Amino acid sequence: MEQNKAIEACRAFPATRNPVSCERYGHGHINETYRVLTAEGGDYILQKVNRGVFKSPEQVMRNIALVTEHVGKKLVAKGRDPLRGTLHLCSAEDGKPYYIDADGELWRVFDFVRDSLAIQMPRSTEEFASAGHAFGEFAAMLSDFPAEQLYDVIPQFHDTPKRYRDFLAAVERDVCGRASEVMPEIEFYRARADYYHTLMRAHERGELPLRVTHNDTKINNILFDADSGAPLCVIDLDTVMPGFTVNDFGDAIRFGASTAAEDEVDLSKVHFSVEKYKAYATAYLAGAGDGLVPAERTMMRDGALMMMLECGMRFLTDYLSGDTYFRTTREKHNLDRTRTQIRLAEETEAAWDQLQQD
């Protein structure tokens, strides 16, 4: 049934009107993704956007269209191929960058970026750093884009004070009777209550600007050249919206500068790598060039710590609430995630002076 719907969606776009192959593709867990080959020799990515996650997918599409057009122009100005340096949306018959089927589902088509590959986990510090350069350059190319033109597709996504209020409410409700077993973790987050306002206060003072941010800066959201291994373009732009660059930087660090998986049970394996942090930060700043203001440079370490604290707090909130948001595959899965983030945050705090950028 889904295959038939995908083929029907293909025919709503002139580029994919004559599909000869339409097969499931990739490792994504949110949207349904297909690779489409056409009779004319075209190669495309077809996706059905998940309305369960994105309540207003038309807003998502407007954001993507504006951002990719802006980045494309910057690439042309640099003498680079925009079809390899950013995603390119194909128009449907009515000229819109998407098609809505009879069931109300939204479909979109991108040109396939040929001779490219995705990496699920960095295999070396150098590879991790190359991702930093790509995300830094992404930030620089969008530094002059008015972020207020974008929809907030997930409102208050990185409003850490709000996340803390939600956490305190979950502790108070304690619907599963779990609070008593995690008091050390609860007290860890309570002890840092004032810090959660750091980025918001810097923004209110006019120091930290609102920018276009990606909001999922893992290495698997970059395509690399299959031959040279160099980063080509940033992908998975569904969560592009206004935010702080230091949060984007910090989320990459939270994930990539850890020595273990996000849900590692054995905390002796979980450490914050200062070496990986510094390599990524150096490459990120090189990619960003003069696209950042001073506070975006000096508060990078705050972005890293804030993302560890915020994500760990969200995991613990979900654990206290009965594991209703994050997907779990075992008992105490969210608690394990919380504890890895606490370990990373503690080690980041201990290394604080080593992380300062000039």
Domain assignment of residue 119, yes or no: no
Range of the domain at 192: 125-355
Classified as helix, coil or strand, 291 is helix
Angle ∠(281,287,293) on CA atoms, nearest 5: 75
Same domain assignment for residues 166 and 268: yes
Report the pLDDT value the prediction gives residue 275, as an integer from 0 to 100: 97
For residues 102 and 99, give the distance between their C-alpha atoms in angstroms, rounded to a whole number.
10
Domain assignment of residue 280, yes or no: yes
Tokens representing 242? Answer: 């206004």
**DSSP strand pairing (116-118 vs 222-225):** antiparallel
**DSSP strand pairing (231-234 vs 211-213):** unpaired
Same domain assignment for residues 34 and 179: no
Report the pLDDT value the prediction gives residue 120, as an integer from 0 to 100: 87
Are 176 and 323 a contacting pair, CB within 8 Å?
Answer: no
Report the pLDDT value the prediction gives residue 3, as an integer from 0 to 100: 77
> Tell me, what CATH number does 65's domain have?
3.30.200.20
Q: What is the identity of the amino acid at 5?
A: K
Domain tally, the chain: 2
* Domain stop point among 114, 149, 169: 114
Domain assignment of residue 120, yes or no: no
Report the pLDDT value the prediction gives residue 1, as an integer from 0 to 100: 59
Classified as helix, coil or strand, 211 is strand
Q: Collect the ranges in the chain with pLDDT lower than 50.
A: none
Segment 72-124, tens digit of pLDDT: 999 999 999 999 999 999 999 999 999 999 999 999 999 999 999 999 889 89
List Cβ<8 Å contacts ≥24 apart for 50-58. Answer: 51/104, 51/105, 51/106, 54/153, 54/238, 56/151, 56/153, 57/98, 57/106, 58/98, 58/106
Report the pLDDT value the prediction gives residue 316, as an integer from 0 to 100: 98
Tokens representing 256? Answer: 């990539």
Same domain assignment for residues 110 and 131: no
Same domain assignment for residues 31 and 131: no
pTM to 2 decimal places: 0.94
Are 151 and 300 a contacting pair, CB within 8 Å?
Answer: no
* Domain stop point among 114, 140, 157: 114
Same domain assignment for residues 107 and 131: no
List Cβ<8 Å contacts ≥24 apart for 294-298. Answer: 294/207, 295/202, 295/207, 295/208, 296/208, 296/209, 296/244, 296/245, 296/246, 297/357, 297/358, 298/356, 298/357, 298/358
For residues 245 and 191, give the distance between their C-alpha atoms in angstroms, rounded to a whole number.
26
* Domain stop point among 72, 93, 114: 114
Same domain assignment for residues 250 and 327: yes
Same domain assignment for residues 99 and 196: no
Strand partners, 243: 211
Segment 266-301, tens digit of pLDDT: 999 999 999 999 999 999 999 999 999 999 999 999
Report the pLDDT value the prediction gives residue 358, as an integer from 0 to 100: 62
